[in-house]
Copies of this chain bind each other. A is one copy, B any other.
């Protein structure tokens, strides 16, 4: 792979994540030689900053070094193979390959080593933004004290469900505030409401999403037996994700030591509630850190430690993670 003029493809260039990927490649002075924006028949032909979105397909990846996939799992399932066959390294932001044994699931702060092995991977998956935040925060705790169990309740924005969900929240909020009533009475109200269901409810009562977040965290931390219970809730925010997390450490740390471990954790920005207040999702939009606040001992269980996480679900949660993976692979290859 060339170090100075990397040919990039972005599949799903019109999605929230695709747009943020392109923006970050510019902001971080990524050594882009060519950038090819790709989409499905629904979006191909649109223009983004004078560049026309091409149609993803068999020959779309000719000459591409790195292909980012920022469309849904179906598009990844259909077209990642073509990109790999064309010789590109693929970084997939969809859920399609995250839990496949042969595909590394990478959060650079935690397991970048997977990218610098003798035979670097040609297909890398980035986790869901919730799993990224949890992995960044749990990794140093696992190392310092061991983690026996984690109970998580999330506060997730519309952005996680895509651009149309963001627009829907906006329209429905305006409709309610202007007294026009609900935009679509056949749907559960999303504006000024909390919906405790992200994904489909499975037979055991967990949703597909909750199960996936737990599995992704276990995979990233290489803790296959980690007890992690997730309740995922959609809240009426446009961007960002937060989580209330109750951890049970194997070896109790004490509050000050726990704060020290978190403060030193890679990618963590620890807040002092009594000085700056706890981080909120709106505060951390545009930030590339995983923000942690409300750290306190939980005296209701041995080794109990409670904390709050907030991060930019699109930027830190997905796009930055994907770009950082590409940066490491390029440094490795050259």
Contacts and interface: CB of A to CB of B under 8 A. Distances in A.
A10 interface: no
A233 B155 contact: yes
Interface in A216-272: 227-229, 231, 233, 235-238, 240, 242, 244, 246, 255
Copies of this protein in the complex: 2
Contacts of A280: 188-189, 193-196
B306 A231 contact: yes
A300 interface: yes
Contact of A282 (B192, B204, B281): B192
A233 B244 CA distance: 9
B193 A281 contact: yes
A110 interface: no
A231 B294 contact: yes
Contacts of A244: 153, 196, 231, 233, 244
Contacts of A173: 173, 177
Interface residues of A, number: 53
A298 interface: yes
Interface in A53-100: none
A104 interface: no
A205 B297 contact: yes
A201 B296 CA distance: 10
Contacts of A188: 277, 280, 283
Contact of A206 (B231, B278, B296): B296
Contacts of A3: none
A46 interface: no
Nearest to A204: B296
A205 B271 CA distance: 12
Contact of A196 (B177, B236, B242): B242
Given A151-B151, A177-B177, 4 more contacts: A153-B231, A173-B177, A194-B237, A246-B246
26 contacts: A149-B301, A155-B155, A155-B194, A155-B235, A173-B177, A192-B282, A193-B237, A193-B280, A193-B281, A194-B242, A194-B280, A194-B281, A195-B278, A197-B273, A197-B277, A197-B294, A201-B294, A204-B296, A205-B255, A205-B273, A206-B296, A229-B301, A229-B304, A233-B244, A236-B236, A244-B244
